[in-house]
Chains A and B, each alone.
Chain A
Amino acid sequence: MGKKLQIHSTLTCDVLIIGAGGAGLRCATLLHERRPDLSIFAVTKVAHPQKSHTSTAQGGMAAVDPKDKADKSIYHMFDTWKGGDCSSDQNVVKRIIDGGWEEVQWLERKGIHFSRDEGGNISKRQFGGHTVEFGKGDALRAVFVADRTGKGMMDTVWGEALKGGSLFINSTVVTELLFNEGCCVGAVLFKVKEGEFVTVLAKATVLATGGSGQVFRITTNCRNNTGDGLAVILKAGLPVMDPEAIQFHPTGIVGPGILASEALRSEGGILRNKEMEPFMERYAPKMKDLAPRDIVARAIETEIREGKGIMNSDHQIEHVWIDLRHLPDYVHEVKLKEVASFFKTYANLDSRTQLCPVRPSNHYHMGGIPTNEHGEVQDSANRVVPGLFAIGECTCASLHGFNRLGTNSLLELLVMGRYVGERILSHLKEKQVPAPKGAGEATLDLFTNYLEAQGRENIGMIRQEMRELMTRKVGIFRTEKGMQEAIASLIALKQQAAKAAISTKSMRMNQELLERWELDNLLDNAMTITQGALMRKESRGAHFREDYPERSDEFQFHTLVSMTEFGKVSFGKRPIDMSIYESKGEHYEQFRIMPRKY
């Protein structure tokens, strides 16, 4: 070592988009279409935008087709509001849902390969929680690309961004946001492959860095979803909103956590414990295995806690079984083809003759960087931070409230991507504001510390321990005691991490160095999640407190958590927008605060 780290170069562009998944690149394409003269940098942590986590979304994208006589936007808004346990912002819900079908048309014209009906029109399918006439019937509202809707979308947006001339900066992460006189003027990036730090100055900066699922041991999220965007926001002294709002899917495949669709149960799959008991009968006597996601997830978790789970010795993970053996071959081979093939590929099991191992898996972060309905980032006093925008899973606008409906995430990515693009154009500054003094110093200090750290602690072990801890204590069931223990453990892990020496001091593609940085981000995320969940003494949507099992009007607000020093948090509140209700327009009463019962 010995060589001092430095900023390799300073680049300028008009718009810097950090995160080149569905949201980031939809924003880029809007900018290219309207202003082909602008220079757009699209930064991605993965090796190429096509490798983004958006590509893994399976089921569909919700959007109300104006040609559909049975469906209306107001129904979709109601489902989203109710599904989110009355914690979504109604202004955001309205804006996003109103913009849905335009995105379907945009995708279709740009070449997405939507599945088609016999007449050649775009097919639609039904999805859980999506209804017509305020819960009266099922809505056919999700457009889809077979079982790979996210991939279809991702291929369309990266193709269009490429065509428009976006500069893809691959295998690169954001380590620091730059501000000058309160205005965001760009960011410091670390190019992992080259091992170089660069400063990028931009007239607008967009964070679209995705989720934080790697905080938990069992997750459907990709390896790169380490909550980096939230960590740089916290470092900049800005808050995160509703970090405690995290969705767990009831049936992840053991061990990798890959999502096994609800379709397993809707086609007749039965959950069984170690004693082969079909235990859902005890938790939901009427709906049994078809009860909503959170109820099924809690039931499985309870069985495991009570010792009625089964240990998978390869992955060292406890699980229950899903029994599909009684279903006809046709269901296995046609209707559940994709999921059945997952069991074959990842567990070497034949779902026709063998029991399949499942357990709840972390799936989606409803919380994130607080923005308004234009995607502008807000500070802890709910003031807009000029020049800084955020979109996609890393944000909390909030469309999803405390529980996201299936197919609403892809909708949010695209619509908000477009809206942020439009907002940037109407607010784009004439001139580039220069970098502040000392830009990049914090990053260089941080990485120098990582490289010079001494000690025998093991980064991989600390990460494993943190993920295990978060799954056990801040997962599906949360209690005061458990979370206080979790906070103490996280502080200890943070101290341990400081004593982890990096074996290779080389800068080029130093995976260990990247993982050291990611570990800090994961710990920051874990801490704010836990603190938010501890503060919220109620149960709301996916946030379930065993010691406070009911929703409480006292907590009818968004949590804001700031953390400039690890473990020391300050809280704020943002009111939940109820503008549809307050407008007293048609059906406004459906947007009151109501119990989430299905």
Chain B
Amino acid sequence: MSKTYSLTLTIKRYDPDRSVTWFQTYKLDSGPILRFVDLFRRINVEQDPTLAWASSCEHAQCGSCSVNVNGRPLLACELLVENAVTLFGTTQFKITPVKVAPVVRDLVVDWEKTYERVHRAKPYIIKPKELSPGMTEHRISPQELARYEEATRCINCFCCADACISGNRNFVGPNAVMASIVRMMDPREEEKNERLNLLYSEEGIYRCHTSKACSHVCPKNIDVAHFLALAKEGAFKRREK
């Protein structure tokens, strides 16, 4: 028989019609390998259909279900009950929405507002390099790709931005910066200067205090701080026009 945990989930709630915030406690018994999204679903079916929470793919590939559990930003779809008990040393969990985005209701935040930062970083090729004569595709060696491939795994769950000690008011954020750095390192991008302008702007990388909280919390285990450090040390050069 598998073990049963008696859990207490204290969830921060928000009602947008009355602009009221409160904490609500739910108690439930669970086996070891239910995930936190499974617990939220069970709360909806068994106790309280009004609790709003976000998810989509539920296997760490879309980054919709980011929440704070006992102060740590993480993906609720990846957190198994028994791992949570081990990680936090308790069966009591305080769950709050991520701070990086305005709350819509309960645990659902307005990702649109947060994505604007990534949009500002232009997550595409601004000015594509021409193909070499006679070629139908670019050649990129695996070694060159390996320099920035890790950063392309980012799913924009904003856990890094939530954990960032530089705050979210003045800093465009680790994941947005990383989106731009990917294209700085991508040999197919010709427009490097515009990207440097963002990286070295008022909301750019000098806001970063190198706490490495981003790398520490990244659910995809991306060393976000490494890419920011590259920009800080001046690894990317301006192009003469």
Contacts and interface: CB of A to CB of B under 8 A. Distances in A.
Say if A and B assemble together: yes
Interface of A: 46-48, 50-53, 55-56, 67, 104-105, 108-111, 113, 115-122, 146, 148, 151-152, 155-156, 159-160, 162-163, 168, 170-171, 193, 222-224, 255-256, 258, 312-315, 342, 345-348, 458-461, 464, 503-504, 506, 508-512, 515
B45 A110 contact: no
Nearest to B119: A162
24 contacts: A46-B56, A47-B54, A55-B61, A55-B62, A56-B59, A105-B136, A108-B138, A113-B149, A115-B145, A119-B139, A120-B142, A120-B144, A155-B123, A155-B152, A222-B62, A314-B2, A345-B60, A346-B33, A347-B33, A348-B32, A458-B45, A508-B17, A511-B51, A512-B44
Interface string B20-50: 0000000000111111001001001100011
Contact of B186 (A111, A464, A503): A111
Interface residues of B, number: 69
A122 B30 CA distance: 46
B32 A51 contact: no
Contacts of B82: 348
B87 interface: no
B122 A464 contact: no
Contacts of A56: 57, 59, 61-62
A105 B137 contact: yes
Nearest to A66: B136
Contact of A50 (B1, B54, B144, B156): B156
B71 interface: no
B59 A509 contact: no
B152 to A, nearest CB: 5
Given A258-B59, A508-B105, A170 B111 contact: yes
A48 B125 contact: no
Given A162-B123, A222-B57, A313 B1 contact: yes
Nearest to B108: A509
Given A111-B183, A193-B110, A315-B34, A224 B58 contact: no
B139 to A, nearest CB: 3
Interface string B100-112: 0000110010111
A159 B124 contact: yes
Contacts of B124: 110-111, 156, 159-160, 162-163
Best-buried of B44, B54, B57, B125 by chain A (most CB within 10 Å):
B57
Contacts of A508: 16-17, 104-105
A108 B137 contact: yes
B112 A170 contact: yes
B145 A503 contact: no
A222 B37 CA distance: 12
Given A116-B141, A348-B80, A508-B16, A53 B153 contact: no
Contacts of B105: 508-509, 511
Interface string B195-233: 000000000000000000000000000000000000000
B64 to A, nearest CB: 5
Contacts of B128: 109-111
B57 A53 contact: yes
Given A111-B125, A113-B152, A345 B78 contact: yes
B63 interface: yes
Contacts of B80: 345-346, 348
B188 interface: yes
B57 A118 contact: no
Nearest to B1: A313
Nearest to A50: B156
A459 B49 contact: yes
Nearest to A505: B17
Given A151-B155, A159-B124, A503-B49, 7 more contacts: A109-B137, A109-B138, A110-B125, A156-B124, A345-B80, A510-B52, A512-B44
A125 to B, nearest CB: 14
B49 A256 contact: no
Contacts of B41: 460
B15 interface: yes
Interface in B121-168: 122-126, 128, 131, 136-142, 144-145, 149, 152-153, 155-156
B34 A512 contact: no
B56 A109 contact: no
A484 B136 CA distance: 55
Q: Which 9 A-B pairs have the closest CB atoms?
A: A314-B31, A159-B124, A460-B45, A120-B139, A47-B111, A509-B105, A51-B62, A511-B52, A111-B125
Given A160-B124, A512-B49, A48 B112 contact: yes
A118 B141 CA distance: 6
Given A162-B124, A503-B50, A506-B17, A116 B140 contact: yes
A506 B41 CA distance: 20
Contacts of A159: 123-125
A45 to B, nearest CB: 9
